[in-house]
Amino acid sequence: MYNQLIRNDFMTQSEGEKKKVILTCAQPTGKLTLGNYLGAVRNWSNMLENHECYFGIVDLHAITTPAHPATLRQNVYDCVAQYVACGLDPEKSHQFAQSHVIGHTELAWVLTCLTPIGELQRMTQFKDKAAKLGFKTAETEDGEVKFSHEGARPQASINAGLLCYPVLMAADILLYNADLVPVGEDQRQHMELCRDLAQRFNHQFSDTFTIPDAFVPKTGAKIMSLTEPTKKMSKSDENERATLYVLDEPDQIKKKIASAVTDSEAVIRSTPEKPGVSNLLTIHSALSGQTVEELEESYAGKGYGALKEDLTEIISSSLQPVREKYHELIKDKAYLKSVLAQGAAAAQKRAYRVLGKVYRKVGFPDRERT
């Protein structure tokens, strides 16, 4: 999941000032985690009044790994329904599927032609995903990356889409001339490639792209795994009790919090030496509005059972409106399709501006749009 704060060319009607635009992209990978909600989505909903907000569901990225067509299609609708249920009002924002907007893949192809293959092979996430398939990688003295099939899973292969994924991500950003890109630590290397490609294109064809800057937002809670609290909560975790989802029912929440890792020291305080307890306090603080310090004081002399019991109730009650709204929306496919159509129309207008400049710069003939 990555966000882009991009420049806007229109003015607010009330103040006559430029209104900044937020563009956020995320893969349609099913249910949102509590980490997604508290770390990002809830904050996005607070931006709707003062920003022009675009939320891209990057379904093209999703097919870099095997995806069942019906599941992928449904995941897009699930994503829209969850976004709206979490407070992203489609009357105040634009939600669109990446595959519905002309420009992402076209710009990615232009940028791919400026990208040495060695840069892509050295991307950490690419090597990590290759390793998960069983491939072994080694970098030679001259920087070339070699792959060994020894030990790889039967019939495993690395597709070109997985290799070129960072270029498409760069195109997602540059297509809207982003100024600032809030990204997680695991996306910083991709962000550097994006900046390099923008500079490379500008140098070869004259200034076209804004050189975006990356930053890690200070707002939003960082929620960790319930079973391994030193790593981030993730929907890809194989342990079903490691991750809380915004659509979890109360009994599921109760079981997961009850089994959440703590430690043998029955003292409720947040320190690096107590990652499990610190994580539970972070979740409590993010939902209750109390500071961690206030929570430490209120739970002084109490055991982990009391903290977990209260936290279960807070999570369940906080997410109840989201669950109810989602179940209402997911039944109305026509409405969800209309949300995507309206969002794509708005995003397309912005994308055409930059894509037209790129096409002229590289020498493509003018094309009349019908």
Q: CB burial class (10 A; 0-12, 13-18, 19+) of residue 28?
A: buried
> Among this protein's residues, is 235 annotated catalytic?
yes
SS3 state at 224? strand
Look at residues 180, 166, 174, 183 and name the one whose alpha carbon lies nearest to residue 201.
174
Look at residues 270, 319, 263, 316 and name the one whose alpha carbon lies nearest to residue 296.
270
The single residue listed with the structure tokens 């760069």 is 170
> Among this protein's residues, is 254 annotated catalytic?
no
Residues 301, 269 contacting (CB under 8 angstroms): no
Give the active site residue among 127, 235, 325, 357: 235
The single residue listed with the structure tokens 């889409």 is 161
Q: Dihedral of the CA atoms 25, 29, 32, 34 (nearest 10)?
A: -100
Give the active site residue among 232, 255, 325, 357: 232
Residues 263, 289 contacting (CB under 8 angstroms): no
Radius of gyration of the chain (CA): 22
Q: CB burial class (10 A; 0-12, 13-18, 19+) of residue 235?
A: middle
Give the active site residue among 129, 222, 357, 361: 129
d(CA 351, CA 358): 11
> Among this protein's residues, is 232 annotated catalytic?
yes
Which residues are catalytically annotated?
Answer: 129, 232, 235
